[in-house]
C-alpha cells in the first residue's frame, strides 16, 4: 500500500518488500518498492516508495491524467497457491490516478481497496472517481486509511476517514473500512512513530472502536508480520479483526502475527496485471460478497 507519503519499509523486513495503500502505504503503497511506483515530487510524503501499504501509496500523489492500466516493469504473477477458491483484486491510491476499471475487471479483478485518507489532513484527490468507477465496473470496493499515530489520536483519524470515504453499508458492494498501519515512512529509523508497544495498541484500539461506533464494523487491519511484532509487541488484541497481510515474493503469506489464524486479504506484489498492488481474498466471489455484507462470521 501506499503509505502516505511514504517510504518503503526497511529491506530487513522480508514481508514488506517496500511498503500498502493501495493500497499500502514513500511512494504510494503502490509506490516504488513493492509498493510501487513512487510518488510524484508534488507529494511531500512521497520521497520514497511506500511502505508496504495496500497501496501504500502515499497520500498525496497527483500527476498526469494518464489512464493507469497494467503496471510497468516485470509482472508479478499470482502465487501458484492461488486457485479458483481465491478472489483476485488490487489496491490503488492517487498514484494510479485515472484507472481503466473495465479493463481491470476484464483482467480478473473482483475487488479493490482505494486509499481515501491519511492522518487528518490528506484526502486522495482521485478517490471519488476511483471509488465510483470501480463500482460502475462491477467491482466490490472499499476504502483504506493510512495511519499516522504520531500526529493525532486513533479516534480522531477514524472519524476523519469515515467522513471522507471510509463509511460502510451492507449493500454487498462495500468492503469494511481498512486501516493501513505499517512502517513510519517519515521517521527514518523511528519505525513505530515514537510510540511504545502499549501506546501503539491503545492507538489501534481507539481507531477500531471509533470505526465500529460509526459504521457498525471493525476495520480490516493491513500490516506486515515484522512491523506488528516490532511495534505492538505482537499483540493478540485484534485477532478478531480481518487481517490484510503484506508479504511480497513468496508462495504464501508466511507466518501470521498477533494471534491471527487466517488471513482475509493477502497483498503478494506491487506489480502485475492489475493497476496498483496485487491482492487475493481468502475465498471465492460468493464469500467475498458475503464478507462485504457483513455476514461472514470470520470477517471483521
Question: What distance in Å separates the CA atoms of residue 246 and residue 116, rounded to the nearest whole number?
Answer: 19
Positive/negative CA dihedral, 288, 290, 293, 297:
negative
180 in catalytic set: yes
CA 234, CA 252: separation in Å to the nearest integer?
20
13 Cα distance to chain centroid = 17
User: Alpha-carbon distance 298 to 287, whole Å?
Assistant: 10
Instruction: Name the one residue in this structure whose C-alpha cell is 513512487.
Output: 38
Q: Are strands 140-146 and 122-123 parallel, antiparallel or unpaired?
A: unpaired
Q: Indicate if 121 belongs to the active site.
A: no
User: Any residues with CB less than 8 A from the CB of 187 and at least 6 apart, and which?
Assistant: 150, 193, 194
d(CA 103, CA 99): 9
CA nearest to 1, candidates 40, 30, 41, 43: 30
91 is catalytic: yes
**Contact in structure between 167 and 212 (CB atoms under 8 Å):** no
Q: To which H or E segment does residue 132 belong?
A: helix 127-136
Among candidate residues 180, 210, 214, 277, the one labeled active-site is: 180
Cα 197 off chain centre by: 22
- CA separation for the pair 73, 116 (Å, rounded): 26
| Residue in 28, 91, 118, 277 annotated catalytic | 91
Cell 502485475, residue?
A: 272
The CA–CA distances, whole Å, from 186 to 7, 45, 56, 94, 244 equal: 7, 7, 13, 18, 22
Q: Among all residues, which ones are annotated catalytic?
A: 91, 180, 182
Amino acid at each position: 500500500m501506499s503509505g502516505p507519503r511514504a517510504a518503503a519499509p526497511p529491506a530487513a523486513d522480508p514481508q514488506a518488500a517496500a511498503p500498502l495503500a493501495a493500497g499500502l502505504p514513500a511512494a504510494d503503497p503502490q509506490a516504488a518498492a513493492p509498493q510501487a511506483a513512487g510518488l510524484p515530487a508534488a507529494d511531500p510524503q512521497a520521497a520514497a516508495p511506500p511502505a508496504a501499504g495496500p497501496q501504500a501509496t502515499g497520500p498525496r500523489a497527483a500527476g498526469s491524467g494518464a489512464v493507469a492500466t497494467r503496471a510497468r516493469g516485470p509482472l508479478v504473477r499470482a502465487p501458484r497457491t492461488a486457485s479458483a477458491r481465491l478472489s483476485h483484486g488490487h489496491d490503488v491510491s492517487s498514484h494510479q490516478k485515472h484507472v481503466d476499471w473495465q479493463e481491470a475487471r476484464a483482467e480478473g479483478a473482483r475487488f479493490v481497496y482505494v486509499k481515501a485518507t491519511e492522518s487528518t489532513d490528506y484526502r486522495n484527490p482521485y478517490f471519488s472517481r476511483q471509488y465510483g468507477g470501480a463500482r460502475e465496473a462491477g467491482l466490490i470496493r472499499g476504502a483504506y486509511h493510512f495511519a499516522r499515530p504520531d500526529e493525532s489520536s486513533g479516534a480522531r483519524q477514524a472519524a476523519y476517514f469515515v467522513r471522507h470515504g471510509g463509511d460502510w453499508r451492507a449493500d454487498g458492494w462495500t468492503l469494511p473500512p481498512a486501516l493501513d498501519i505499517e512502517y513510519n515512512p517519515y521517521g527514518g529509523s523511528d519505525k513505530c512513530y515514537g510510540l511504545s508497544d502499549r501506546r501503539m495498541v491503545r492507538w489501534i484500539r481507539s481507531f477500531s472502536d471509533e470505526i465500529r461506533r460509526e459504521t457498525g464494523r471493525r476495520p480490516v487491519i493491513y500490516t506486515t508480520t515484522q512491523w506488528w511484532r516490532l511495534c505492538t509487541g505482537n499483540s493478540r488484541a485484534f485477532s478478531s479483526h480481518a487481517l490484510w497481510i503484506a508479504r511480497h515474493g513468496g508462495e504464501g503469506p508466511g507466518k501470521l502475527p498477533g494471534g491471527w489464524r487466517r488471513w482475509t486479504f493477502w497483498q503478494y506484489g506491487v506489480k502485475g496485471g492489475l493497476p496498483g498492488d496485487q491482492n487475493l481474498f481468502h475465498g471465492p466471489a460468493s464469500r467475498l460478497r458475503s464478507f462485504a455484507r457483513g455476514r461472514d462470521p470470520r470477517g471483521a
